Amino acid sequence: MVDHCKEVKPLEGCGLLFGKGEVITTVIPMVNENHSPVSFSIRSEALEAVMKERMVRGEQWLGVFHSHPTAPAIPSETDRLMMDDESLCYIIVSLALRQPDVRGYVTEGSQLVPARITLQPKESLS
């Protein structure tokens, strides 16, 4: 997830998160159709294809990630409007400083609240 965001910088990186329960086991980088450093969108056909493939494998859609190449890992007003599904975790990867800052958020009612997340190296997910 962080590697993908670094690779596409200065544009926003984005992708989908799948797994079971509350454990994300699969990170799927997606193309940012906006090709923008301040916004992202995922083509609906690409989203549907990935969702279908992952669900056939028995995985649940658990969240969405995107990066802020030059801003903190705090939801923008645009982010807040998009982060409305209570069943998903929304992760923002800030690349504004030397060390990436990764933060998660969930929607509870009409509030967007920080989520506790623990990152593991990709090798430990195999």
For residues 21 and 18, what is the distance between their CA atoms, to the nearest angstrom? 10
Q: Are 115 and 105 in contact (CB under 8 A)?
A: yes
Domain 2-125: CATH superfamily, name plus number: Cytidine Deaminase, domain 2 (3.40.140.10)
pLDDT tens across 80-94, in order? 999 999 999 999 999
pLDDT of residue 123: 61
Q: What is the residue extent of each domain of the chain?
A: 2-125
Dihedral of CA atoms 70, 17, 35, 53 in degrees, nearest 10, equals 170
pLDDT tens across 11-42, in order? 999 999 999 998 999 999 999 999 999 999 99
